[in-house]
Amino acid sequence: PLSTRCCAPAGAAPAMNCRAEVLEVSVEGRQVEEAMLAVLHTVLLHRSTGKFHYKKEGTYSIGTVGTQDVDCDFIDFAYVRVSSEELDRALRKAVGEFKDALRSSGSDGMGQISLEFYQKKKSRWPFSDECIPWELWTIKVNVVNLANEQERQICREKVGEKLCEKIINIVEVMNRHEYLPKMPTQSEVDNVFDTSLKDVQPYLYKISYQITDSLGTSVTTTMRRLIKDTLAL
């Protein structure tokens, strides 16, 4: 879910043992959505399981994750995503907002979108639950403007090649088999996984983005909201 405020603001530094990966892409405006979706879906493919069904004695069985190929229209590229319409919709919504923000910010077309995986740690009242990130993916985007059709055609191919590299990078990270949250008991499952989807179960995640304005400073969406909220008081 996009920036649900369950814990510290998105701009906060990740926890000490939070793995952070950064990817950078330069794309044309109309390629932003597909490029972001390709990366986010590839990460979530690796970070989603089938639905858990708990039985007695603490055992559980896992549902099946289907996959499907997605062809990009503006990039010579194809990727695999989890077969879950809900998940796809959630990602498209986030990416759509990011793209709109990029366009309307009047910036030089630079921004970044982050996908953070976290665990919830319940706290006693009056403190709200803590969100402890354990993996953070950041995609830095630079939007370029192209002059003619020939350049666009080259861009299609080049961005396609670049995305291939990014997929390989993502898979490398996944293969390190570094920290993953322990498989939870039934009572804890919602602290580790997003169980709201009906067909797959990704780890708890949140997506946020920042647009870099032309002065080079970042304006986080969360900061904007804080200021707005403050003024509304």
Q: Are 198 and 31 in contact (CB under 8 A)?
A: no
- Residue 112 and residue 83: Cα distance in Å, rounded? 26
**Beta carbon nearer to other proteins, 167 or 219:** 167
- Residue 154 and residue 40: Cα distance in Å, rounded? 24
**Beta carbon nearer to other proteins, 66 or 106:** 66
Q: Which two tokens stand for residue 162?
A: 């670049």
Q: Are 140 and 22 in contact (CB under 8 A)?
A: yes
- Residue 120 and residue 122: Cα distance in Å, rounded? 6
Q: Are 80 and 42 in contact (CB under 8 A)?
A: yes
Task: Give the 3-state secondary structure of residue 95.
Answer: helix
Q: Is 84 in the site for other proteins (CB under 8 A)?
A: yes
CB of 23 to other proteins, least distance (A): 14
**Beta carbon nearer to other proteins, 48 or 212:** 48
- Among 63, 96, 181, 184, the residue binding other proteins under the rule CB under 8 A is 63
The residues near 154 (Cβ < 8 Å, ≥ 6 apart) are none
Q: Is 152 in the site for other proteins (CB under 8 A)?
A: no
- Among 1, 17, 24, 67, the residue binding other proteins under the rule CB under 8 A is 67
CB of 219 to other proteins, least distance (A): 33
- Among 177, 228, 230, 231, the residue binding other proteins under the rule CB under 8 A is 177
- Judged by the rule CB under 8 A, the positions of this chain that interact with other proteins are 42, 45-46, 49-51, 53, 55, 59-69, 71, 76, 78-80, 82-85, 163-164, 167-168, 170-172, 174-175, 177, 183, 198-200
